[in-house]
Structure 1
Amino acid sequence: MFSMTRNFFKYRTSYFRRNIPSETILSTLSFCHKFHDPDEKYLLKIVFSHHTHKFYRTSFQINSSCTQFPVPFASFSSPYSTKAPSRSYRRRARNRLLKSSKPTLDQAQFQLALSQLPPRFTTEELCTVIARQDNPLVCLELFHWASQQPRFRHDVSTFHVTIKKLGTAKMFQEMDDIVNQLIAVPLIGSEALFNTVIYYFTQARKLTRAVNVFKHMKSKRNLICCYRPSIRTYNILFAAFLGRGSNSYINHVYMETIRCLFRQMVNDGIKPDIFSLNSMIKGYVLSLHVNDALRIFHQMGVVYDCQPNAFTYDYLIHGLCAQGRTNNAKELFNEMKTKGFVPGSKSYNSLVNSLALGGEIGEAVNYLWEMTDKQRSPDFITCRTVLDEICRQRTIQEGMGFLQELQENDLVDGHAYRKLLYVLEDDYGNSVSRNNGIE
């Protein structure tokens, strides 16, 4: 009992010293010295509260031989930790919130859907009833209820309509359970069904799950089936792996997977289309392998019998300008216009930025005005780059005239105009205001 009391006060003392300001501790010590009674052997009647400031009386009796200093007691400043919650805690809290916010099954609507099925319903009749439902939970419950009925087996149509309903509602966990049932049943499936599964898994960013379904389509036991991967399957995977943002390192990592998929597609005898080839070009450009992108570009008509489109030129021009190869970019730009394609905003912005940074201000401005004539809008970075180079290589007055011209042609709004003006004032000081009379 004596050791337990001593350990209790040792812990409580260290806790208060860590969590209470020194001013509070000093005031508490003076309070204890003021009302100290030696005959009571440090009998202290401490009153403290945590949140509600309601007072609770607690008595502690301490032997004078076990402690030689007054025990500082004071009210808590805060009972909660000031440290940020960990990632695992936030994940658990988010999962609990999602589970608590899940909708419940509407029994009346479910019973109404059941009443629309005949006693000996077929898969077509069940598929029709599920397709009519707006509530995905009712669709899921109908699917499970039908699975428990004797002499009934799901087919491709019932699996397909249920997976589409759950995928559209973003109920990916429930959809995953249905997909597991689908894969467990041999010789059931179709190319459209598995393409739908892969598409919704990629929308949920479950790329590993999508690749596993793709491997199931390519497995040897499915050689006699009609759901081998097609060009549509590969294009869904290409779009998923290229949708990881603009980080060149991430694109470089995923580009190896895309390259393997493309090689596998060609080896399987599937002819690439314009989307597949443009995906390869986009992946190479985003991963900073522009020469590989140009190799695919020159092979399009010769090897794959597929002509490039405007998307092809846009990404190639963007990649060449990003590497400072402005002359090659202008050649492709002129070739693009010769073939009747209108360059996109990506091509124009990249070319104008590259020319301005290369010191060719006049040509950059000409392309910028051509860009506006083609109903393509310059972005803020392009306007800032051109404006900064005009002021740096020519005069500030000419730069201010260019800024006024941008505003008059509605190429920049009021917010962008003020931001550009602030940039000029930061770079060139008060000379902007003096030369142009701007307050």
Structure 2
Amino acid sequence: MRLAKNSHPFMYNYKPLSENFVNALGIMYRRYYSSYPRKKNLRENRLNVTRFNNVVSQLPPRFNAEDLCGVLYFQDDPYVCLELFNYASQQPRFRHEVPSYYMVIKKLGRAKLYDEMDGIVKQVFAIPTIGSVALFNMMICFYVKGRKLTRAVNVFRHMRKSAVLGCRPSIRTYNLLFGSLLSKGSNTYINRMYMETVRCLFKQMVDDGIEPDIFSLNTMIKGYIDSLHVNDALRIFHQMAVVYSCKPNSNSYDYLIHGLCCQGRTRNARELYEEMKNKGFVPSGKAYNSLVNSLAMGGEFEEAVRILWEMNEKRRLTDLITYRTLLDEICRHGNVGKAMRLLEELQNKRILDWCTYKELLYVVKDDFGNSDDR
């Protein structure tokens, strides 16, 4: 058979597939892929129906909110708790009360089922007479843990607008918001942005007649330190006992010592360090490391070494950066032999492990050689 012009040599004998053959292929395709289980929706409600029926059977014929809370308390399956809550809502002459809302939100929040929890929260918001400080604070607490800051703020606004005086924000409400706003990492720009919001919340709290406690004041100090407003942190520190009748604790001093050292204000940091010790507080490892680094970079090697030994006596962990900064600054001022003797003494007293000792030794030799004092 002669091929047509411009035709493919393998296409001249082509025959179209029959309709029966195409139908057979379709049947085989459907049978093959239908044998595979379908992927379940991640949001599919994994309700154990048998367990739910057993729980329902434990309720009395005409149960109230107290009976429902007693059953919910012993259930560890959040889906069963949610279904039981909805089942109770459909019963005639049944009304949910604060304990039943509290219990189901607690179960859903612990399971991190925030979408399901939102539905219950909206029900609470829809009833003006329902609510309590403990209930709303728990909502904020779970939203804060789940990084749902917008939802936490919505609960806070609802508390302020509530007609029930017992639902107004408390000191714990503000502390939860302070902690969530100031836990955004070490980015100074972000901390500065959120610190403005925290400042407004703090002023609002004081204007509402809520007395700040040690946690809220320390949070303000830490927030100012992280946003590089050290003078504002010192202002809060000096107002603690005079204005707010709240004495500083070890955390108050630790935050300030670290912040002052970061800005090179070693003299002020040492004054707070001595005041802290006189009051019987022991600085944290972060405060100790900051002070040793600041003293070393300021050329006060004797004082830095003394605080380093004190730090080890108090069993505070010394960072590798602190050791390296102290040794580098001693060597940079022409005291290589002194740095080597300090390094040997640290290793002989087993303060440094062998790997850390070798690493520091190689750094000193590579940067400054192995010469004596010059």
- How far apart, in 2, do the equivalents of 1:181 and 1:422 lie? 66
Residue in 2 that maps onto 1:156: 98
- How far apart, in 1, do the equivalents of 2:347 and 2:67 lie? 62
Corresponding letter in the other structure for 1:148: Q
Residue in 2 that maps onto 1:11: none
- How far apart, in 2, do the equivalents of 1:98 and 1:415 lie? 51
Structure 1 segment 8-407 matched on structure 2, within 5 A: 40-41=5-6, 43=8, 99-100=41-42, 104-219=46-161, 222-407=162-347
- How far apart, in 2, do the equivalents of 1:300 and 1:311 lie? 13
TM-score computed with the length of structure 1 as normaliser: 0.74
Q: What is the total number of aligned residue pairs between the two structures?
A: 347
- How far apart, in 1, do the equivalents of 2:180 and 2:358 lie? 39
- How far apart, in 2, do the equivalents of 1:381 and 1:206 lie? 36
| Partner SS state of residue 167, structure 2 | coil
Q: Judge conservation of contact 2:128–2:163 (CA < 8 Å) in 1.
A: no
1:424 to 1:44, Cα distance in 2 relative to 1, 3 A = farther
1:100 to 1:224, Cα distance in 2 relative to 1, 3 A = closer
Q: Deviations over 1:72-113 (max 9, x none)?
A: xxxxxxxxxxxxxxxxxxxxxxxxx99438671112221121
1:129 to 1:272, Cα distance in 2 relative to 1, 3 A = same
| Partner SS state of residue 168, structure 2 | coil
| CA positional deviation for 1:136 | 1.2
Which of 1 and 2 has greater Rg? 1
| CA positional deviation for 1:44 | 6.3
- How far apart, in 2, do the equivalents of 1:408 and 1:271 lie? 52
| CA positional deviation for 1:413 | 3.4
Q: Judge conservation of contact 1:117–1:125 (CA < 8 Å) in 2.
A: yes
- How far apart, in 1, do the equivalents of 2:294 and 2:257 lie? 10
Residue 416 (str. 1) matches residue 365 (str. 2): no
- How far apart, in 2, do the equivalents of 1:169 and 1:329 lie? 44
Q: Judge conservation of contact 1:317–1:347 (CA < 8 Å) in 2.
A: yes
Q: Deviations over 1:258-281 (max 9, x none)?
A: 000000001101111111111111
Corresponding letter in the other structure for 1:226: G
| Partner SS state of residue 226, structure 1 | helix
Residue in 2 that maps onto 1:83: none
Q: Deviations over 1:293-324 (max 9, x none)?
A: 01111111111111111110100111100000
Corresponding letter in the other structure for 1:43: H
- How far apart, in 2, do the equivalents of 1:149 and 1:403 lie? 76
Identity within the alignment, %: 58
- How far apart, in 2, do the equivalents of 1:420 and 1:185 lie? 66
1:369 to 1:184, Cα distance in 2 relative to 1, 3 A = same
| Partner SS state of residue 244, structure 2 | coil
For the aligned residues, what is the CA RMSD? 2.5
1:145 to 1:382, Cα distance in 2 relative to 1, 3 A = same
Any gaps of 5 or more consecutive residues in structure 2?
16-38
| CA positional deviation for 1:425 | 5.0
Q: Judge conservation of contact 1:377–1:411 (CA < 8 Å) in 2.
A: no
1:384 to 1:130, Cα distance in 2 relative to 1, 3 A = same
- How far apart, in 2, do the equivalents of 1:330 and 1:414 lie? 32
- How far apart, in 1, do the equivalents of 2:301 and 2:243 lie? 40
| CA positional deviation for 1:151 | 1.0
Q: Judge conservation of contact 1:378–1:411 (CA < 8 Å) in 2.
A: no
- How far apart, in 2, do the equivalents of 1:183 and 1:239 lie? 24
Any gaps of 5 or more consecutive residues in structure 1?
1-37, 47-56, 59-96
1:405 to 1:136, Cα distance in 2 relative to 1, 3 A = farther
| CA positional deviation for 1:416 | 3.4
1:386 to 1:101, Cα distance in 2 relative to 1, 3 A = farther
- How far apart, in 2, do the equivalents of 1:281 and 1:310 lie? 12
